[in-house]
Amino acid sequence: MLKSVTETYVRYLLPTESPSSVCVVVDLDDTIARYCKVRRLSRCHEFDPMPEVLDKVLDCQRRGVSVVIATARPAWTCDKTFDWLQNHGVVASAVYFRNPRAQSVLPHEVKRQMLLDILTQWRVERFWDDSVFNIAAAQSLGIPTTLVPGNSVYWEERGRREGWSLPELVK
């Protein structure tokens, strides 16, 4: 496992049997794993999967497409996150976590920085996320996206409250 740290994220490159030049990028909480406020991130390895997205990710994996995880979870959750991925059959080529020192950076800017790094290594086939701001960041980079319903209302309300600007989404 190769770890690198930037101002906004921590990246783990994981050894995979047959790396592909094509990947899908998937957020974790409320995208592939159902975030549980009762369990909190300290117990993130116990979160339930969201089968509608997990099944699509596993299908991509079966087709030989690399899976890259890009999450706003802090890097201290890495061991439990790796456990969750393994327990649900997800073989990730890379996992990106938010650098805990980047709390003042807008979440969608952190995700955009992750995506820029991902684009230096893979062609991104699809990006799944529950935040309209992260979706807009991916679309601004020309990445095909899927907004996962669920927590997206939270992100829209938080964005309005904090004055984040949302570029027009590509249809």
- Tell me whether strands 92-98 and 9-13 are parallel, antiparallel or unpaired: antiparallel
Chain position carrying tokens 């999967």: 49
Residue pair 127/146 in contact (Cβ under 8 Å)? The answer is yes
State the burial class of residue 78 (Cβ atoms within 10 Å of its Cβ: 0-12, 13-18, 19+). middle
pLDDT tens, position by position, for the chain (171 residues)?
A: 889 999 999 999 988 766 679 999 999 988 998 876 555 666 677 778 899 999 999 999 999 999 999 998 889 889 999 999 999 999 999 999 999 888 888 888 999 999 999 999 999 999 999 888 899 999 999 999 998 886 656 666 766 677 766 554 433
Residue pair 3/10 in contact (Cβ under 8 Å)? The answer is yes
The radius of gyration of the chain's CA atoms, rounded to the nearest angstrom, is: 15
Question: What is the architecture, at CATH level 2, of domain 2-162?
Answer: 3-Layer(aba) Sandwich (3.40)
Phi, psi dihedral angles at 127 (to 5 degrees): -125, 125
Cβ-Cβ contacts under 8 Å for 78 (sequence gap 6 or more): 10, 12, 95, 97
Overall size of the chain counted in residues:
171
DSSP code string of 55-71:
HHHHHHHHTT-EEEEEE
Say what the pLDDT of residue 167 is: 54
- Residue ranges per structural domain of the chain: 2-162
Say what the pLDDT of residue 150 is: 67
